[in-house]
Amino acid sequence: MAIRPILTIPDRLLRKKANPIERVDEELRRLIDDMLATMYDAPGIGLAAPQIGVSRRLIVMDPAKDEAPKAPIIMVNPEILERSDELRVHEEGCLSIPDYTAEIERPATTRVAYIDREGRKQETELKGIWSTLVQHEIDHLNGILFIDYLSRLKREMVVRKYTKQKRAEAL
Ligand SMILES: [Zn+2]
Per-residue pLDDT of the chain (171 residues; tens, 9 = 90+): 899 999 999 999 999 999 999 999 999 999 999 999 999 999 999 999 999 999 999 999 999 877 778 899 999 999 999 999 999 999 999 999 999 999 999 999 999 999 999 999 999 999 999 999 999 999 999 999 999 999 999 999 999 998 888 888 776
Centre of ligand 1 from the C-alpha of residue 141, in Å: 10
- Range list of β-strands (E), 38-120: 46-48, 58-61, 73-83, 87-94, 97-107, 109-115
Q: How far apart are CA 143 and CA 106, in angstroms?
A: 17
In the prediction, which pLDDT does 65 show? 75
CA distances from 29 to 6, 51, 54 (A): 19, 17, 14
Which member of 123, 137, 156, 169 is catalytic? 137
Other Cβ atoms less than 10 A from the Cβ of 102: the count is 17
Contact 115, 122 (CB under 8 A): yes
How far, in Å, from the CA of 8 to the mean position of ligand 1? 10
Residue 70's pLDDT is 87
Cα(70) to ligand 1 centroid in Å equals 20
pLDDT at 1: 83
Would you call 39 exposed, middle or buried from its count of C-beta atoms within 10 A (0-12, 13-18, 19+)?
A: buried
Distance 44 CA to ligand 1 centre (A): 9
Mark whether 118 is an active-site residue.
Answer: no
Fill in the DSSP letter of residue 153.
H
Helix (H, G, I), strand (E, B) or coil at 25: coil
Q: Which residues pair with 75 in a beta bridge?
A: 59
For residue 140, report the distance from its CA to the centre of ligand 1, in Å. Answer: 7
For residue 155, the surrounding DSSP H or E stretch is: helix 152-170
Contacts for 91 with CB less than 8 Å, ≥ 6 apart: 101, 102, 103, 104
Is residue 132 within 8 A of residue 103, CB to CB? The reply is no
